A and B are shown apart, each in its own frame.
Chain A
């Protein structure tokens, strides 16, 4: 039986990124994917003829350009198209939009408040300052403060130096940013509720917290530190849907000689003498490898795939208590024609960006209250995009694909499992909210896929359907992600590594965890990567 150098559990974007780097460094890598397609939560699926659905992740900004370059992803078909702003619809029939053009953006805010219009620059500057601090940390292994290895000490010094470049004032601001609620943070800049509601969205996406929960300001930051070709903070659509990211990775991987097996569901990690030696598939087949790397989240990896007695007690305890709570759902909709929003002016660019309907902080927090009670939000917030307004490849001409990210949506309904009836009722809260602002919306629907945490976990394997493989709060970042002492992609089981979003620097289609994990694995094997760009300079 063939023994691979590396067996990768899961073909999500981080698994494929790590696999590409490892294969290119001369290792023989096998990617095992339980579904019949690769991609994990970055997929494009034709669930109804002629339509491609970005059925999990739906927009792209965080994916590191260094990785795209190293792995030649453009050559393998990846293209990201930036989109312009977006809008929130207000209940009084107006909207507030955001625009790429600085002055248009200010004038739009000035429709609501002259003060807020002029406050935006200060807000954007403060957020950008913090992003500039964090961005270089994304592509570095987090230092382990428990270790006295020279490398960890030098990384801690690097962190310290980065901090030293800040004024005392900025440092204070950093600590506040990492611990405050997005609501408190926005209150310091803005007076208009709808403006705050619009900006707060990035602070709670994918997080089982409300806008008034401490720690949510950082989540916002996480969504600002991406870029589209140097335009920092910009978001875009992957041409062909988010699957284009993983298809390009898979193609790059195969081109460098890697092997992908789909329909291969890993049931256990095999160990011998305490060391990982391969995996056992659900059908009982054994696949042997010198190393095993798990793209699965930390809970799935250690609570389902590894024998508990192979793990230290404290570690298991921390894994069990790692916060990875299901909080969101998704509707993917094929539309017969472009929906109309009478509130928007004709030819508004907003239709090509992200659209929301939650126009107050209170509605957002109330939506969270429902989640705490174990219910999906009666009045959910929706992050809605129609990528086909810019991407002609995802639907037939004139038809459209719409992605609706919906929050909050609990992993269980009042303590019991989801039923199909629950799912349909959940979908209806979303469709009726859209229909309130878009007459005739229901009639345009050709096909719809509804995904609650139940569906996301069952298909993608994300525990509780948590999109970040663990929430992005300060207690779960840097050397605390996922478990203190195990934040450098290594695990208590020799030969077993983690490379998914449960690890530093966290979730989003970023690829940095996969790349950093590959760097650590190669270091352990005393191999050099073929090409691994350091993080681009932030100057």
Chain B
């Protein structure tokens, strides 16, 4: 359906700002000392705000405010919404209660992961799907035969992640009464101005934290409300660099960084099944119908899965991002897609994709080759790598209910 002429004309001006600003941009721009921006899905987003290392410590010690508005958001509503989402995604949506959130993934017919994301059940028949890539044609085509409406609402809904030990204290102080009852992966609506804000106890840091969704118009007042309440609780605005460190510690994967989404791959062998990127636990094989089911079960039965995603602990302290993983220092076994020195675990950690049987049958004698460019000279190191479980860190404060007032 083609949009009406006046609507189209009004949108012509997009070209004047090829990098859109999120609803929170005025506040972040004021706070930004580094002026360090990058493009996230067409939005201007901070890579850092004042100091990426100190920003990381805001996540782990006080409270960090991170703008997630560029996340792609779809609203899925209608009598068949649950049935539709059960067909679309690999996890069982019938088990997702109203007011709950779960992490999930969806696949094409070949069982290749199209994306991962979080699914919010706002009411019995209303959901919000948040993800990295855009999928409207896929979502619409999948809806044929279902009584369901799908709307892309990325621009209309602003999102904030408030993460860190004092995040609960900040929200309490800001007057979100009842926030203390929110358990991990639970969401609730709270009054904000004349409208509402949806707050879920979710996040991408493995720490105590929340995500807040509000209409774009109410974004700045929400920011101010949190900022004012957070003054005595060490609230800081952060950029992606700091968040990325926290998410690696938490063992979370990022689409098109740790795996390639099926619709963006040019090379046929780059797509991955859930079992190949550590998402096998999401797949509910008891569900009779979901897209990719047959292919996934067949691959499991015939043992044709080719890859496996693992957490690595690497000796030493030099981050190994982009490094090749070897078996017995000689045979190529895979690739490191994310790596940091973890301040919380005091370990050199990494997320890696290995070619089976490395990482499944052959788990010993793994090495990574690190090329460290130091003053225009590569220092080449072969370091021992050990497969360890993810997450690399586990924080009791993440799940405690009511959360601690730090």
B11 touches A110 (CB 8 A): yes
Is B144's CB within 8 Å of the partner chain A? no
Is A166's CB within 8 Å of the partner chain B? yes
Residues of A466-504 whose CB lies within 8 A of B: none
B3 touches A112 (CB 8 A): yes
Between-chain CB contacts (< 8 Å), 6 pairs: A103-B41, A104-B42, A108-B14, A111-B14, A191-B1, A193-B2
A107 touches B136 (CB 8 A): no
A221 to chain B, nearest CB (A): 15
Is A192's CB within 8 Å of the partner chain B? yes
Contact partner, A170, options B5, B134, B152, B268, Cβ 8 Å: B268
A128 touches B266 (CB 8 A): yes
Stretch at the interface among A91-99, A145-153, A287-295, A445-453: A91-99
A114 touches B268 (CB 8 A): no
Bound CA–CA A101/B16 (angstroms) = 12
Bound CA–CA A211/B5 (angstroms) = 26
Is B135's CB within 8 Å of the partner chain A? yes
Is A167's CB within 8 Å of the partner chain B? yes
Stretch at the interface among A11-19, A116-124, A296-304, A376-384: A116-124
Given contacts A128-B266, A129-B266, contact A169 B136 (CB under 8 A): no
B39 touches A103 (CB 8 A): yes
Is A132's CB within 8 Å of the partner chain B? yes
Contact mask B12-24 → A, CB, 8 Å, 1/0? 1111101110000
Is A165's CB within 8 Å of the partner chain B? yes
Contact mask A186-204 → B, CB, 8 Å, 1/0? 0001011110000000000
B152 touches A118 (CB 8 A): yes
Contacts A97-B15, A111-B7, A345-B13 given; 18 further ones with Cβ under 8 A? A92-B5, A101-B18, A103-B39, A104-B18, A107-B11, A112-B2, A113-B1, A114-B136, A117-B136, A118-B136, A118-B137, A121-B263, A122-B137, A125-B263, A166-B268, A345-B12, A345-B15, A348-B15
Provide the residues of chain A in CB contact with B329, threshold 8 Å.
Answer: none
Could you tell me which B residues sit within 8 Å of A by CB distance?
Answer: 1-3, 5, 7-9, 11-16, 18-20, 39, 41-42, 110, 134-137, 140, 152, 263-266, 268
Bound CA–CA A108/B8 (angstroms) = 9
A515 to chain B, nearest CB (A): 26
Bound CA–CA A532/B393 (angstroms) = 57
Bound CA–CA A193/B1 (angstroms) = 10
A169 touches B110 (CB 8 A): yes
A236 to chain B, nearest CB (A): 21
B137 touches A115 (CB 8 A): yes
Is A375's CB within 8 Å of the partner chain B? no
Tally of A-B residue pairs with Cβ under 8 A? 86
Provide the residues of chain B in CB contact with A121, threshold 8 Å.
Answer: 134, 263-264
Give the A interface residue count (CB, 8 A): 40
A173 to chain B, nearest CB (A): 11
Q: Looking at A104, A112, A115, A118, which has the most chain B CB atoms within 10 Å of its CB?
A: A118
Is A106's CB within 8 Å of the partner chain B? yes
A167 touches B268 (CB 8 A): yes
Bound CA–CA A360/B25 (angstroms) = 39
Provide the residues of chain A in CB contact with B16, threshold 8 Å.
Answer: 345
A94 touches B9 (CB 8 A): yes
Provide the residues of chain A in CB contact with B266, threshold 8 Å.
Answer: 125, 128-129, 132
Given contacts A132-B266, A167-B268, A345-B13, contact A106 B42 (CB under 8 A): yes
Contact partner, B137, options A119, A170, A349, Cβ 8 Å: A119
Residue of B with least CB distance to A102: B42
Provide the residues of chain B in CB contact with A122, threshold 8 Å.
Answer: 137, 263
Residue of B with least CB distance to A129: B266
Bound CA–CA A166/B268 (angstroms) = 6
B8 touches A112 (CB 8 A): yes
B12 touches A93 (CB 8 A): no
Contact partner, A113, options B2, B5, B13, Cβ 8 Å: B2
A107 touches B14 (CB 8 A): yes
Bound CA–CA A119/B137 (angstroms) = 6
Provide the residues of chain A in CB contact with B268, threshold 8 Å.
Answer: 165-167, 169-170
Bound CA–CA A122/B264 (angstroms) = 7
Given contacts A103-B18, A115-B136, A115-B140, contact A125 B152 (CB under 8 A): no
Given contacts A112-B2, A348-B15, contact A94 B264 (CB under 8 A): no
Residue of A with least CB distance to B10: A111
A94 touches B8 (CB 8 A): yes
